[in-house]
Amino acid sequence: MRTILLCCIVTTLTSATFPQDRTNARSMVISTYGIVATSQVLASQAGAEILSHGGSAVDAAIAANATLGVMEPDMNGIGGDLFAIVWEAKTGKLYGLNASGWAPKALTIDYLKSKSITKMPGEGIDTVTVPGAVEGWNRLHQRFGHTAWKDLFTPAVFYAENGFAVQELIAMDWRSSEDKLKADPESRRVFLPHDQAPQMGEIFKNPDVAKALRLVATDGPQSFYKGEIAQAILATSHEFSGTITAEDLAGFSAEWVEPISTTYRGWKVYELPPNGQGMAALEMLNIMEQFEPSKTGPLSSEELHKRIEAMKLAYADLARYNADPRFAKVPVRGLLSKEYAKQRSQLIDPQKANCDTQAGVPPSSDTTYLTAVDREGNIVSLIQSNFSSFGSGITVRGMGFALQNRGALFMLDPAQPDALAGHKRPFHTIIPAFMEKGDDHIGFGIMGGANQPLAHAQFVSNVVDYGMNLQAALETARFTVRSNFNIGCKILIEDRVPAEVRQRLSSMGHQLEVRGDFSLFMGRGQAIDHNTKTGLNFAASDARTDGSAEPEVPPNLRQSIPSGNRQP
């Protein structure tokens, strides 16, 4: 596998591959020390700094995530949810954490009907579910943390108080959310300085979220669910006639879960179980495995058609069956069986797109992603989100963070598995992932709502079927869809896919919307591989993001560099 990871993307147009002709824009970061890969350089540096001071991969991930919440307030923050997979190098054991919040007890179908609401709104107070991120950090730190809790938030508080330069891609998303933010006076005050979104390179400060993070750091997680932050959340909910109560906040806890998995051509690939959508990535891989990889490469019409059609079948099942397993029976084992994949694969016409894919009957039985590895080889695959940009659009009074709108994915049909109910967790799009074979153990994730399962499957196939290294596997042109439901034949595809391939796909019935070279619609990914034989860590950060993979400074080197003295 080391040879596979260090080689450039395989091409089929020439008899040899040359480094000068590679198609990926960046190189991997390779180190025997820890590495943190996130969508913001300063957040990656914050996590790497924690590693340099002896912190664990989990410590680094929490510090990086808190910093991302400051720098990408549209995508994530303490008002959102969190999922994580942790690989423990010493034991080889994998741990899963579901820190997605539940709906308020009083937020029910009957309650919304009493307000003449017949369809779940996309934003506003009735989409707010209890934020799970802080409780997720708490559970992770209790089990795997080395660094003192209070010290994990130092970088995030620093940037919130002193400001940071807004990066290119976040500035674009921020600007597109101006109308949403102007609908709430507090969101407008906090996130629209000078009554407009900050421009690329503008220094943005958020003293309110610095206050909230300091409370979390000094008073612990209880400050969010029972203390001063909780009171601010309740006051904000009351102002909008929301249903959140003190009991909804205080009673919430994250849940350790067993990851689900499948095999793909000798690799074992892991996702988290429902209420997340990770099972769709695994089902898609199972269906793809029924076909041989295309001999003409990953961007051939044959390969892309197979991937697209496998995605439609998996997503149809996802839309039909995914729900909170505490409230509905989700047939995960049946959906992930190889026999079921064989049945589903027979529905794929190699020459024609299916524009009306239906769910099968299995046998019974705006987001940020980061990954970190420490010098012991422990890996964290973590994803955290507000759902849509700035979540519900409602900012907690005096605390500087937006509340998520995860409840928007509930259904108001009581016959559906994902029907709204009090203290039920909604359908979740955010999914961390992990894959391993032999000495190689890879934590990876690719953001972007409905994009995530299909992007995971494309990444895995790029590594396994086409011998790409992590960076090439992330950067290779992809396709995506806008929704998990009612997909039809509408596919978004990057224009780096050759024109003749796109023309062939169109002739097969695919309705293509061509996007740019490195489109944000395809998601922003990160990946880290730890090789247990060599002790090397390989890391990649998607060229579709503002971020980077940052290695820690070796402790001995840090100690040998004298502190600078300012001259008078």
Q: Kindly state whether residues 174 and 272 are assigned to the same domain.
A: no
- Domain range spanning residue 323? 257-367+428-553
Q: Compute the distance between CA of residue 181 and CA of residue 197 in angstroms, rounded to an integer.
A: 9
Q: Kindly state whether residues 62 and 197 are assigned to the same domain.
A: yes
Known catalytic residues are 367
Q: State the CATH number of the domain containing residue 514.
A: 3.60.20.40
The enclosing H or E element of 143 equals: helix 133-144
Q: Kindly state whether residues 230 and 261 are assigned to the same domain.
A: no
| pLDDT given at position 13 | 31
Q: Compute the distance between CA of residue 546 and CA of residue 170 in angstroms, rounded to an integer.
A: 8
> How many folded domains does the chain comprise?
2
SS (H, E, C) 284-341: HHHHHCCCCCCCCCCCCHHHHHHHHHHHHHHHHHHHHHCCCCCCCCCCHHHHCCHHHH
Q: Kindly state whether residues 437 and 467 are assigned to the same domain.
A: yes
**How many residues in total does the chain contain?**
568
| pLDDT given at position 422 | 96
Residue 63, domain member (yes or no):
yes
Residue 85, domain member (yes or no):
no
Q: Is the pLDDT of residue 17 over 70?
A: no
SS3 content of the chain, % helix, strand, coil (to 5): 40, 20, 45
Model confidence pLDDT, tens digit, residues 429-448: 999 999 999 999 999 999 98
Q: Can you name the residues that pair with 268 across neighbouring β-strands?
A: 263, 436
Determine what percent of the chain is predicted with pLDDT higher than 90. Answer: 88
DSSP 402: B
Q: Is the pLDDT of residue 15 over 60?
A: no
Q: What mean pLDDT value characterizes the chain?
A: 93
Q: Kindly state whether residues 70 and 151 are assigned to the same domain.
A: yes
Nearest alpha-carbon partner for 5 in 551, 541, 466: 466
Q: Kindly state whether residues 175 and 286 are assigned to the same domain.
A: no
* Residue ending a domain, choose from 409, 438, 465: 409
Model confidence pLDDT, tens digit, residues 402-418: 999 999 999 999 999 99
Q: Kindly state whether residues 139 and 275 are assigned to the same domain.
A: no
Residue 14, domain member (yes or no):
no
Residue 470, domain member (yes or no):
yes
* Residue ending a domain, choose from 379, 409, 439: 409
Q: Kindly state whether residues 341 and 475 are assigned to the same domain.
A: yes
Antiparallel, parallel or unpaired: β 511-515 and 490-494: parallel
Q: Is the pLDDT of residue 111 over 50?
A: yes
Q: Compute the distance between CA of residue 26 and CA of residue 14 in angstroms, rounded to an integer.
A: 22
Q: Can you name the residues that pair with 512 across neighbouring β-strands?
A: 491
- Tokens describing residue 220: 């612990």
Residue 538, domain member (yes or no):
yes
* Residue ending a domain, choose from 346, 378, 409: 409
Determine what percent of the chain is predicted with pLDDT higher than 70. Answer: 94
Residue 373, domain member (yes or no):
no
Binned at pLDDT 50, 70 and 90, residue 1 comes out as: very low
CB 102 within 8 A of CB 428: no
Phi, psi of 466 (to 5 degrees): -125, 10
Q: Kindly state whether residues 109 and 158 are assigned to the same domain.
A: yes
Residue 226, domain member (yes or no):
yes
Residue 123, domain member (yes or no):
yes
- Ramachandran assignment for 124, one of left (phi > 0), alpha (psi -120 to 50 degrees), beta (any other): left
Model confidence pLDDT, tens digit, residues 210-221: 999 999 999 999
Q: Compute the distance between CA of residue 99 and CA of residue 82 in angstroms, rounded to an integer.
A: 5
Q: Kindly state whether residues 300 and 432 are assigned to the same domain.
A: yes
Model confidence pLDDT, tens digit, residues 67-103: 999 999 999 999 999 999 999 999 999 999 999 999 9
pTM score, whole prediction:
0.93
Q: Kindly state whether residues 200 and 56 are assigned to the same domain.
A: yes
Q: Kindly state whether residues 458 and 504 are assigned to the same domain.
A: yes
Give 530's Cβ-side CA count (13 Å radius): 28
- The answer for residues whose C-beta is within 8 angstroms of residue 456's C-beta and 6 or more apart is 271, 278, 281, 431, 433, 444, 445, 446
Cβ neighbour number for residue 428 with a 10 Å cutoff: 24
